Structure 1
Amino acid sequence: MQSFLVSTGVVALAEIGDKTQLLSLILAARYRKPVPIILGILLATLVNHAGAGGLGAWLSTALSPNILNWTVVASFALMAGWILIPDKLDEGEIVMPKRQMGVFATTVFAFFLAEMGDKTQVVTIALAARFHDFLPVVAGTTLGMMLANVPVIYLGSRFADRLPTKAVHIVASLIFVVLGVLALMNAINGNPLLG
Structure 2
Amino acid sequence: MEAFLVSTGAVLLGEIGDKTMLLALVLATRFRKPAAVIAGIFVATLFNHALAGLVGGWLRAVIPAGYLPWLVAASFIAVGLWTLVPDKLDEDEAKPRGNGGAFLVTVVAFFLAEMGDKTQIVTTLLAARFDSLPAVVAGTTTGMLLADVPVVFIGMALAAKLPMKAIRITAATLFIALGVTTVIFRHSLGA
TM-score category (smaller protein): 0.5 to 0.7
The residue type paired with residue 48 of structure 2 is N
Aligned to 1:131: 130
Instruction: Among all aligned residue pairs of Structure 1 and Structure 2, give the percentage whose two residues are the same amino acid.
Output: 57
Deviation at 1:92, TM superposition (A): 3.1
2:51 is the counterpart of 1:20: no
What are the equivalent positions in structure 2 for 1:64-83 lying under 5 Å apart? none
Q: TM-score, normalised by structure 1?
A: 0.58
The 2-side partners of 1:44 and 1:133 are apart by 20
Match of 1:55 in 2: 55
What value does the CA root-mean-square deviation take over the aligned residues?
3.0
The answer to whether the 8 Å contact 1:3/1:131 transfers is yes
- Give the deviation of 1:133 after TM superposition: 1.6
The answer to whether structure 1 residue 2 and structure 2 residue 5 are counterparts is no
State the alpha-carbon separation in 2 of the partners of residues 106 and 158 from structure 1.
Answer: 21
2:110 aligned residue: 111
Counterpart contact for 1:26–1:91, Cα < 8 Å = no
Describe the shift of the 1:157–1:47 C-alpha distance in structure 2 as closer, same or farther (beyond 3 A): same
Look up the equivalent residue of 1:118 and give its one-letter code: D
Q: Against the structure 1 CA distance between its residues 28 and 2, is the aligned structure 2 distance closer, same or farther, given a 3 Å change threshold?
A: same
- 1:48-103 Cα shifts (integer Å, max 9, x gaps): 001111236xx6xx9xxxxxxxxxxxxxxxxxxxxxxxx99748359x9xxx8711
Displacement of 1:127: 0.3
d(CA) in 2 for partners of 1:39 and 1:157?
Answer: 15
Q: Distance in 2 between matches of 1:135 and 1:55?
A: 15
For structure 1, which runs of at least 5 residues remain unmatched after alignment?
Answer: 63-86, 160-195
User: Could you tell me which residue of structure 2 aligns to residue 175 of structure 1?
Assistant: none
Unaligned runs of 5+ in 2: 59-75, 88-95, 159-191
Q: What is the aligned length?
A: 128
Distance in 1 between residues matched to 2:81 and 2:110, nearest whole Å: 13
**Cα distance change, pair 137–93 in 1 and its aligned pair in 2 (3 A):** farther
Partner of 2:145: 146
